[in-house]
Amino acid sequence: MAALLEVRELCVDYPRPDGTVRAVDRVSLHVHAGEVVALVGESGCGKSTLGLALLSLVPSPGRITAGRVLLAGEDLLALPERELRRKRGAGIAWVPQETGDALNPVLTVGAQVAEVLRAHRPLDREEARREAVRALARVGIPDPERRARQYPHEYSGGMKQRALLAMALAAGPRMLVADEPTTALDVTLQAGILDLLRRLAGQEDLGVLLVTHDLGVVAALCDRVLVMYAGRVVEEGPVDALFAAPLHPYTEGLLAGVPRPGIPRGRLPAIPGQVPDLAHLPPGCAFAPRCSRATDRCRDRVPVLEPAGEGRAVACLEAPPSREGVR
Ligand SMILES: Nc1ncnc2c1ncn2[C@@H]1O[C@H](COP(=O)(O)OP(=O)(O)O)[C@@H](O)[C@H]1O
Ligand SMILES: [Mg+2]
C-alpha cells in the first residue's frame, strides 16, 4: 500500500555567517494513513525544522535545498504557493504547541474554529458556528456549546491544546504534524491529548507525525519511531522492537533516560556531551564523539541508514548485525 506521506532525501539549510547549518540532511520517511509515527531526538537535532518543511513552512533564512514531500502521491514542494496554502489545512495540517499565545485572546474559541472552517468551506455564519461546536466535541471538549462561547483565558492548558487540535482538524486534513503538542502540559493532560491523537488516527484514518523529545510518553501510543540526530535519521523501526532492542547507541542512550519500574532514574547513565553545532559537524559519524562504541572508522565515514530487518533501519557501523542478515 502506498504511504499517505512520503518524504524523499529532504535537505533543509539555514545559512549562517560562520557556515551553513544543515538542519535536515537527506531525510526519507513515510507515514501511512491511520499510523502514528514519533520523531524523537534531543533538542537541536532538526525535528521542528523537518516538521515545518513538510508544510513548506521553514522560517527564513532557512531553505529546502533538496528532496520531495509527497502527500497521497502529490509533490507538495512543486505546488504553486496558492495551491500549497490550500493543501495546508485541507491536506496536511500543523498542530501548534499551546504556549499561551497560539490562540487569539480577544475572540471566543468557537469564533476562531469557525474562522478556520469558513476559510476552507462555503459556510454561512450559523452553519460555521454549529460546525465549530461539533469540532470542539470531536476533540473531547465537554459541554462544547458553552465552551465555544468562551474566551481562551477561560480554558485550561489542556483544553486550549484540544482547541488548537480542533482548529488543525477543521479543514479535514489527512495528515497531522504535531510538534511537541504536550510539552507544556502535566503528565495526565499529556496522556489525554496523545490518546486523542491515537484515537483520531485509528477512527478517521489520519496519518500523524508526532515530534517529541520524550520517548517514554509516546511509547504506548505510536506505531513507529524515527530517531533523529544532528539532522539525520539514525534509527527507525516499530516501537516495540526498537524499545526492546535499540540498534543505534544514540537510541540506547535516549532509552536509558526513560524511567522504568524498579530502576531508579539516577542510576541510569545519560548520554555524555552535547548535540554538536550543525555548522561544524565532526568528521564521520556525528554521534562518534559521544559514543562509547565508536572506533576509528566511525570518525572516518558517515554511516548511511541501512535496512536491519523487521521494518527497521539503522545508520551505525557498529550496530549489531540483524537476525535476518540483511546488514
Ligand atoms: N529560524 C532558524 N534560523 C537559523 N537556524 C535555525 C532556525 N531554527 C532552527 N535552526 C537551527 O537548526 C537546527 C535544528 O533546530 P530545530 O529544527 O529547532 O531542532 P529541534 O526541533 O530538534 O530542537 C539547530 O542547529 C538550530 O540552531
Ligand atoms: Mg523543536
- Predicted pLDDT of residue 101: 82
Nearest residue (CA) to ligand 1, atom 24? 44
Task: Tell me if 278 CB under 6 Å of ligand 1.
Answer: yes
Amino acid, single-letter form, for residue 248: H
Average pLDDT rounded to a whole number, residues 298-313: 95
Task: Tell me if 43 CB under 6 Å of ligand 1.
Answer: yes
Q: How many domains does the chain have?
A: 2
Instruction: Classify residue 323: in a domain, yes or no.
Output: no
Sheet holding 63-71, edge to edge: 19-31, 5-16, 63-71, 74-75
pLDDT confidence bin for 182, thresholds 50/70/90: confident
Cα 23 to middle of ligand 1, angstroms: 6
DSSP one-letter string for 154-172:
GS-HHHHHHHHHHHHHTT-
pLDDT confidence bin for 256, thresholds 50/70/90: confident
Give Cα 239 to chain centroid, integer Å: 15
Domain span at residue 131 reads 103-171
Question: Do 142 and 224 share a domain, yes or no?
Answer: no
Phi, psi of 320 (to 5 degrees): -60, 145
The per-residue pLDDT for range 203-242, each reduced to its tens digit, is: 999 999 999 877 776 787 899 999 999 999 999 999 999 9
Question: For residue 195, what is the domain's CATH number?
Answer: 3.40.50.300
The per-residue pLDDT for range 157-171, each reduced to its tens digit, is: 889 989 999 999 998
The per-residue pLDDT for range 124-169, each reduced to its tens digit, is: 999 999 999 999 999 999 999 999 999 999 999 889 989 999 999 9
Question: Do 227 and 278 share a domain, yes or no?
Answer: yes
The per-residue pLDDT for range 279-295, each reduced to its tens digit, is: 999 999 999 999 999 99
Question: Do 141 and 214 share a domain, yes or no?
Answer: no
Higher pLDDT, 273 or 266: 273
Question: Do 11 and 110 share a domain, yes or no?
Answer: no
Rounded-to-integer distance, Cα 182 and Cα 279, Å: 30
Instruction: Classify residue 30: in a domain, yes or no.
Output: yes
Instruction: Classify residue 322: in a domain, yes or no.
Output: no
pTM for the model: 0.92
Question: Do 141 and 271 share a domain, yes or no?
Answer: no
| Closest to 119 in 3D by CA, of 142, 149, 93 | 93
